[in-house]
Structure 1
């Protein structure tokens, strides 16, 4: 019973760590793209109001 539990728990723990890392990486990338988008939108709005 203990062996079965460990044979399930250890891969689940490794998979959780891997998926958590990828999720955090993708979230950081998405946040960076969002900041770039907002900055570009603001720059475009300022350029339009100046012309």
Structure 2
């Protein structure tokens, strides 16, 4: 996410939604789709 469209140097050129949508997408992926070996190859949501 650091390298994507939400680069701190360009925040002043972005609307609120242009910043929040990619951030929300990243958080959703991190919680729902990212699998972890330590969780038995499940996502955090599946593990719960």
| TM-score where L is the length of structure 1 | 0.39
Flag the structure with larger Rg.
1
| TM-score where L is the length of structure 2 | 0.41
Q: Which has the higher contact order (CA 8 A, sep 6+)?
A: 2
